[in-house]
Structure 1
Amino acid sequence: SLPKGVKKEDVHLEMAVGLLALPRLLGPHPETGKPVKTAIGRFGPYVVHDQGKEGKDYRSLKAEDNVLTITIDRALELLAQPKRTRGGSRSKTKTPLRELGVHPKDGEPVNIYQGPYGVYVNHGKVNASLPEGKSMEELTLETALELIAAKASSGKSGRKSSKSTTSTKKKTSGKSTKKTTKKTKDDDQEGKSESE
């Protein structure tokens, strides 16, 4: 495919040959000796460092970079930059605002983080919001452990469970069937003769 912004009328022989030669080997990575290549993918032009068993490390080319003329030095600059994750953040792991210490039961860290709904305390998979009027500076490890224990015992982990907790009762119809017998002439006459 053509690079973004290039019209088919603008393609000349040299560019066409270069595009057909993609992916292009730029050279070996100085640290690993593994190949660094450039190509055009479904999300646009990129450089890739093939690390063998560790996988491949991809970086998108910037607007000023050209897939046909990029050098190994520029590719290494791009590969040295932190990888962008979905959503635009540069880091997968959040850095805590404050580290309170470790949980006495399992030795896992108890930290304070800033989230979209305010400041919260975290231990493992349990997040507990700070109570109104409490600041993170005055929060102690003991208070944080109480908040985490209360949150864990309430059973709410912040995410909705995929399993339904409500039980469904079997539906029964409200109609009951009563058997009735029709009276016949014979039945009427028998009833009269008995009463006489």
Structure 2
Amino acid sequence: MWCHDQGKEGKDYRSLKAGDDVLTITLDRALEILAEPKSGRGRRGAAKPIRELGAHPEDDEPVNIYDGPYGPYIKHGKVNASLPEGQTVEGITIETAVEALAAKAGTKKKSGKSSKSSTSTGAKSTTKSSTAAKKTTTAKKSTTTKKSTAKKTTSSTSTKKKTGS
């Protein structure tokens, strides 16, 4: 690993190549390595579709089929849907793809953008926290009750002894 301090811009790091040794590298070689663009981790760019189906009938955005780690999938905007069973990449039509995307969009969980969903989410979290607070309070009360019960038992026992003697 080689580091170059650039002042206000910060530090610029590069890994040494296989033939370079940190103890014997020359300044010219170090500057040559620093001049090369950084190579990022796992950045392979935007995925290219394996088949373009056409424009979506509602908003004219493209509907494409991509190859993913779990097989081919249909993509429209931010919605990804699996290919319907029995369909192939070559055999799928835009209508079938739109139906699969609509089914997938219908099963998606709602985001907290609408006021109703954010209110109900807030109510649920408040209920959970107040329930937890009640349990804690109840636990404290029962512990306190046990102690006071023990004291009452002791005091009533001593009162009985005094009365009985």
* TM-score, structure 2 as length reference: 0.50
- What whole-Å deviation, never above 9, does each CA across 1:70-91 have from its counterpart, x for those lacking one? 1655554x42x8x332xxx341
Determine helix, strand or coil for the equivalent of 2:2.
strand
Q: What one-letter code is carried by the residue in structure 2 that aligns with 1:84?
A: G
Unaligned 5+ residue runs, structure 2?
111-117, 135-165
1:107 aligns with 2:53: no
Shift in Å at residue 138 of structure 1?
0.7
Task: Report which of the two has the higher share of strand.
Answer: 1
Number of equivalenced pairs: 115
Judging changes above 3 Å, is the alpha-carbon distance between structure 1 residues 108 and 74 closer, same or farther for their aligned structure 2 residues? same
Shift in Å at residue 156 of structure 1?
4.8
Identity in percent: 51
Q: Find the aligned partners of 1:103 and 1:48 in 2 and give their Cα distance.
A: 51
Q: What one-letter code is carried by the residue in structure 1 that aligns with 2:86?
A: G
Shift in Å at residue 148 of structure 1?
0.7
1:65 aligns with 2:20: yes
> Which residues in structure 2 correspond to 1:39-58 (within 5 Å)?
44-45=1-2
When the two chains are superposed, the root-mean-square deviation of aligned CA atoms in Å is 4.0
Judging changes above 3 Å, is the alpha-carbon distance between structure 1 residues 127 and 57 closer, same or farther for their aligned structure 2 residues? farther
Judging changes above 3 Å, is the alpha-carbon distance between structure 1 residues 60 and 92 closer, same or farther for their aligned structure 2 residues? farther
Q: Find the aligned partners of 2:55 and 2:19 in 1 and give their Cα distance.
A: 47
Determine helix, strand or coil for the equivalent of 2:100.
helix
Shift in Å at residue 45 of structure 1?
2.2
Task: Report if aligned partners of 1:126, 1:152 keep a CA contact under 8 Å in 2.
Answer: yes
- What whole-Å deviation, never above 9, does each CA across 1:100-122 have from its counterpart, x for those lacking one? 22223333221112222222111
Judging changes above 3 Å, is the alpha-carbon distance between structure 1 residues 156 and 45 closer, same or farther for their aligned structure 2 residues? same
Unaligned 5+ residue runs, structure 1?
1-43, 158-162, 173-196
Q: Find the aligned partners of 1:156 and 1:114 in 2 and give their Cα distance.
A: 24
Shift in Å at residue 92 of structure 1?
3.7
Task: Report which of the two has the higher share of helix.
Answer: 2
Which residue does 1:23 correspond to in 2?
A: none
Which residue does 1:95 correspond to in 2?
A: 48
Larger Rg belongs to: 1
* TM-score, structure 1 as length reference: 0.44
Task: Report if aligned partners of 1:47, 1:60 keep a CA contact under 8 Å in 2.
Answer: no
> Which residues in structure 2 correspond to 1:1-196 (within 5 Å)?
44-45=1-2, 59-66=14-21, 68-69=25-26, 70=29, 75-76=34-35, 78-79=36-37, 83-85=39-41, 89-156=42-109, 167=124
Show structure 1 runs of 4+ deviating over 4 A. 46-49, 55-59, 71-76, 163-172
